[in-house]
Every structure is written in C-alpha cells, then in structure tokens.
Amino acid sequence: MPQPTTIRDCMRVRPLTIRPGESLVHAVEIILENRLTGITVTDEDGVVVGILSELDCLEATLTAIYNDGDPAYTTVGDAMTPVVETCKPGDSIVEVAKGMLDSRQRRRPVIEDGKLVGQVSTGNILWALIEHSRRKMREQGR
C-alpha cells in the first residue's frame, strides 16, 4: 500500500515550547489552557531537550505532594522525559507511527537542520491515516 503522507503534512507547525528551568506549575497551566497532552522542552538555543507530558506532570506533582513538598518548586527539567526519539518532516507517517507504538511515545518533536520545526502526535498521525482512507473510499465510489 502506498504511503499516505509524510510528517510534514500532518505535524503541528511552531509548537509551544518551554524551558527546563520553568516551574512545573507554569507548564501545567500552559498545557491545560491550550488543551495539549504535552509540550516540547527546549534549551536557550532552541534545541530540543525533552518532552513534558500530562503524565510526567501528574507523576511529578504526586511525588512532590507525597514527599511533603510543593509542586511549585519542581521544575520542568525535573519532570520532563528526555527526548529519545525525534523525526524529520519528510519521514513517512507509517514508519513514525510504528516507532511510536514500539516506544509508547505519543508525540515526537520534528527536527530539521538541528532545529525544532514542529511536533507530531499520535492524534495528528491518526487523522492523516483516516483522511487517506476516506479519500481512497471516495475514489472507489463507496
């Protein structure tokens, strides 16, 4: 079956980012206000250093409370997951999706020439795959 599209066709361009030294509380506010499932963490030079997911935030908050601490003193860098996998705009969404399933990673920074150019999530890829299927069905008159 031909590849339906590339990451470039379904990624979120110019995703929101946050720095590792920011407060976890501030990060959670951004995630909730923007209805995100996670946010890309970049250093001062814009280089991707991690991903902060809702689950990372929940775990760090519970850990802080359990240890009689205050989540306000937890930083993004303390809670984030260091980036293990990234992808490029021209990568096949099928190959990236397979990698996401293998790693159980729901989002990936999209890197081009060493710089963050977007972010792709499982939802973005699922949408692109379903759109591909719908187009094929319309072409076949179904």
Q: How does pLDDT run across 91-110, given as a tens digit for each residue?
A: 999 899 999 999 888 889 99
> Is the distance from CB of 74 to CB of 99 less than 8 angstroms?
no
- In whole angstroms, what is the distance from residue 139 CA to residue 142 CA? 8
Helix, strand or coil, per DSSP, at residue 90: coil
Tens of pLDDT along 28-68? 999 999 998 889 999 988 889 999 999 999 999 998 887 77
Other C-beta atoms lying within 10 Å of the C-beta of residue 112: 13
Q: Which domains can be identified in the chain, with CATH numbers?
A: 7-139 (3.10.580.10)
Entry pTM: 0.80
Structure tokens given for 18: 């946050």
User: Which residue(s) pair with 109 in the sheet?
Assistant: 119
Main-chain dihedrals φ then ψ at residue 47, nearest 5 degrees: -85, 135
Residue that the structure tokens 């069905």 belong to: 137
